[in-house]
Structure 1
Amino acid sequence: MSRPSLLVTRKLPNAVEARLARDYDAETNAIDTILKPDDLVARAKGKDGFLVTPADRLDADLIGRLPSSIRIMASFSVGYDHIDVKAAEARGIAVTNTPDVLTDATADIALLLILGAARGAAAGMAAIREDRWKNWAPTGMLSTDVRGKRLGIIGMGRIGQAVAHRARAFGMEVHYHNRARLDAGTEHGAVFHATAEDLFAASDILSIHCASTPETRRLVNAKTIALLPKGAIVVNTARGDIVDDEALISALQAGHLRAIGLDVYANEPNIDPRYRTLENAFLLPHLGSATVETRNAMGFRALDNLDDFFAGREPRDRVRS
């Protein structure tokens, strides 16, 4: 019996590609370039499915051009806003993602951003690298504690809850807004806010963990940032388009915000160049899931979904519009 044929759009960890080679007839991407839409369509010919990443924009137009042989798109990610799931369903194409396995790694990065932004790590690192640190001073490079601060979490799913767990160990008071309130056993004393606006007003530190949807895009904008207490900190490890760059940068430059910590950006990697000039911006290049252990687990989870699909079983992580 012939093995299913896959197009793998990016270079994946070695352990994942070894399993791919064992179980599938897979066309991989050794040079790791982002394939253009026409290339994706051309390479899809004769394939049974895709293993894609968030860098691949699978919109309705592209999906409509795919050959009828394509039956599944397994995404190497928990988010799937890069895929038009409704258009895929209309073509009878299953879509899966990789939840659960990147929760802890992303929560760790969120806490790193919270601490780095609060403690002025970006400015401190720049002073060392540029040889501007001449002596220790009692009032030099003062920052702020996180202990006792109100941490507002937008989106209390798996990652949001993992961040809350870590924040409590640092003495932060957890507040959150979610589509539905958690039960008392899951809240662990966190304060629920029925609206995002209420949460903004109660957050000394705001950490973003909601999905990118039409309702949440640019949720962090000039109006909502103005609700934050003066000197607040904003951290984002979710999706870049949840934040209005212009509003965030303006609030930082005006002094309404103390600092920001970002791991994701609109139009990444082509970020707003002004971010690079801000010493109170602690910036990372989308490292949320970037550990060997987590990226292997993501790849294996994507392959588990493909295994189930081609064996005639319902994939564990099938997503629907």
Structure 2
Amino acid sequence: MTKPRVFIPHRISEKALSLLAEHCELDYRDVEEMLDEEAFFAGLQEACGLMVYSRHKITPDVLDRAPRLRIVSNVAVGYDNLDLRELTARGIMATNTPDVLTETTADLTFALLMATARRIAEADRFVKAGEWNEWLPSLMLGKDVHGAVIGIIGMGRIGEAVARRAKGFGMRILYHNRTRKTEAEQSLDAAYVSLDDLLRRSDYVVVMTPLTPETVGFIGKRELGLMKQDAILINTSRGKVVDEQALIDALMEQRIGGAGLDVFATEPVQKGNPLLSMKNVVTLPHIGSATRETREKMALKAARNMIAGLAGEKPENLLNPAVFSH
């Protein structure tokens, strides 16, 4: 029996490759960089399955080049790169990899919060540049994390994991979500509040909401204007959830205290972006899930989703169940 063909246009873990090879014929490209358009489209021609990271935008034009495609397995928890409506209309399954990156991304989020609060990156550059000539009482004064108020916008799996870390630091936890999480309120001593109340009261505002048409620019000029003047904004969700120009303006006009960003409206971030030259902004290259252990778990979960879908079974992390029900 002929094995279904799976196109993987980028490097993934050996364990995931081995697992897939047991069930599928692989068209695998062992490269870190994105393939050029011609090579990518050529790989789609015979593919029954496609495994991609979220940097690949799966649009109608891409799908037009993949006449045999039955499933797209996203190696990511976010799936704003997938046109779910179009995939569903064409009867193509789509999956993601939740759960396995929750704790790792929460680690990074809290590390980014602490680095911004205590000016870690700025202080590192200061020492390495040879500028530390004497100790002064006012040298690199930061902002306390313990006992402060953290406001989490989006209390999903990762939001709750961030809240657990905040509780360990004795922080007062506020959250805003589409629905209340009563269990989280009890276990984390978290308070459900309106978005405006959260913005006004928080010392640290952590954006954890997924990117959807409704959340594009969700944190804009009005919302930033409600924050405390010394408050810090942390975003490890998606860049476009925050109105980037509004954030730049708020920082330049000193209407908020700083920002820690793992994501940007355009990625990779453009070299002339004003955020890159601001001392009170810590910038990271979208590395929320970037540990060896977690990336391997993500690849294995994506592989299992792929194998199930191509075998006619319902994948564990199916994003458009309407396709399978038909």
TM bin, normalised by shorter chain, reads: over 0.9
1:18 aligns with 18
8 A Cα contact 1:44 1:66, kept in partner: yes
2:129 aligns with 130
Structure 1 unaligned segments of length 5 or more: list them.
none
8 A Cα contact 2:145 2:169, kept in partner: yes
Alpha-carbon distance in structure 2 between the residues aligned to 1:289 and 1:159: 11
Matched letter for residue 163 of structure 2: A
8 A Cα contact 1:200 1:224, kept in partner: yes
2:150 aligns with 151
Alpha-carbon distance in structure 2 between the residues aligned to 1:262 and 1:12: 26
Q: 1:198 to 1:294 in 2, by over 3 A?
A: same
1:175 positional shift = 0.4
2:281 aligns with 281
2:231 aligns with 232
1:171 aligns with 170
2:159 aligns with 160
Matched letter for residue 150 of structure 1: V
Matched letter for residue 25 of structure 1: E
1:51 aligns with 2:51: yes
> 3-state SS of the aligned residue for 1:235?
strand
1:89 aligns with 2:88: yes
Count of aligned residue pairs for this structure pair: 319
Q: Deviations over 1:69-91 (max 9, x none)?
A: 11000000001000101100111
TM-score, normalised on structure 2? 0.93
Identity %: 35
2:109 aligns with 110
Q: Give the 5 Å matches for 1:1-321.
A: 1-63=1-63, 65-184=64-183, 187=186, 188-193=188-193, 195-271=194-270, 273-320=273-320
Q: Deviations over 1:219-239 (max 9, x none)?
A: 111110000111000001100
Q: Deviations over 1:126-171 (max 9, x none)?
A: 1012111112111211111011211000100000000000011111
| 180-189 or 85-94, larger mean C-alpha shift | 180-189
| 123-132 or 223-232, larger mean C-alpha shift | 123-132
| 120-129 or 294-303, larger mean C-alpha shift | 120-129
| 153-162 or 211-220, larger mean C-alpha shift | 211-220
Alpha-carbon distance in structure 2 between the residues aligned to 1:254 and 1:116: 22
Alignment root-mean-square deviation, CA: 1.6
> 3-state SS of the aligned residue for 2:175?
strand
1:105 positional shift = 0.4
Structure 2 unaligned segments of length 5 or more: list them.
none
8 A Cα contact 1:122 1:281, kept in partner: no
1:315 positional shift = 0.6
Alpha-carbon distance in structure 2 between the residues aligned to 1:308 and 1:216: 32
Matched letter for residue 221 of structure 2: A
> 3-state SS of the aligned residue for 1:255?
coil
8 A Cα contact 1:204 1:232, kept in partner: yes
Alpha-carbon distance in structure 2 between the residues aligned to 1:148 and 1:67: 54
1:38 positional shift = 4.8
8 A Cα contact 2:10 2:34, kept in partner: yes
1:285 positional shift = 1.0
Matched letter for residue 252 of structure 1: L
Alpha-carbon distance in structure 2 between the residues aligned to 1:97 and 1:115: 29
Alpha-carbon distance in structure 1 between the residues aligned to 2:145 and 2:269: 31
